[in-house]
Amino acid sequence: MPRHHSSPSADNADHDAPFLEAAKPSKTQLKKASHDLQALGEALLELPPKKLAAVPMPERLLDALKDLRRIKNFEGRRRQLQYVGKLMRDVDPEPLREAVAAQRLPSARETLALHQTETWRARLIASDEALTEWLDLYPGQDAQTLRNLIRNARKDQQQASEAQPHDGALERKGRGYRDLFQLIKTTLKAAAAEGEADEQDDEEGDDDV
């Protein structure tokens, strides 16, 4: 009785089928990718109109984003956002993401600077060791002025902690508390600017070599 042999091509097709299925994006992946593109499209509206126009993208996409900026109706905006996401499927998203990141960078720096200032104020009020560390980091600081501000800030904090809730003083610290914050903020900002200038000088020096 003759034996039947499957053809090599059929065997290979059966063998490759699971891999082809695995390579095909799932509905969940496609939905997430669509939502990500829509979110990126909405984030692009954070850019001022002139900056948005300077980002490399097809004119159709730019026009769609301009229309999205003008639409206020919820349902109309939702549909337009879907249209923007559809157009972005054929566009390299990296330059768009870079433009959004560059727009958000100053805000991120300001948030970090605020956090650092608040942290240093809390440390200086809590410990004299922090004062020694601060003066080591910023030797140009007027030590006596800083000590006076810390002393006043400690008094403000103590008075606020002893105040009754109805006095409204728990959140409203005194002038010393605020002045210490401003001094720290100014010092950190100046140090950051000096550091950026030094980096720029180093880069220019490397270019000259």
pTM for the model stands at 0.47
Q: What is the pLDDT along the chain (209 residues), one digit of tens a residue?
A: 555 555 554 455 455 555 444 456 677 777 787 888 888 888 888 888 888 888 888 999 999 999 999 998 899 999 999 999 899 888 888 888 888 888 877 777 788 888 899 999 999 999 999 999 999 999 888 899 999 999 999 988 888 777 655 444 444 567 888 899 999 999 988 888 876 655 555 545 545 54
DSSP 57: -
How would you label 130-149 residue by residue, b for 16+ Cβ within 10 Å and e otherwise? bbeebeeeeeeeeeeebeeb
Q: What does the DSSP assignment read for 154-186? A: HHHHHHHHHS-GGGTTTT---HHHHHHHHHHHH
Domain ranges (residues) in the chain: 27-91, 107-203
Contact by Cβ (8 Å): 146, 120: no
List, for residues 16-66, the tens digit of each pLDDT value. Answer: 555 444 456 677 777 787 888 888 888 888 888 888 888 888 999 999 999
Superfamily of domain 107-203: PSPTO4464-like domains (1.10.60.30)
Which of 152, 194, 201 has the alpha carbon at shortest distance from 173? 152
pLDDT score for 163? 63
DSSP 55: S
Q: 27-91: what fold? A: Diphtheria Toxin Repressor; domain 2 (1.10.60)
163 vs 142: CA distance, rounded Å: 32
Encoded tokens for 175: 């002038």
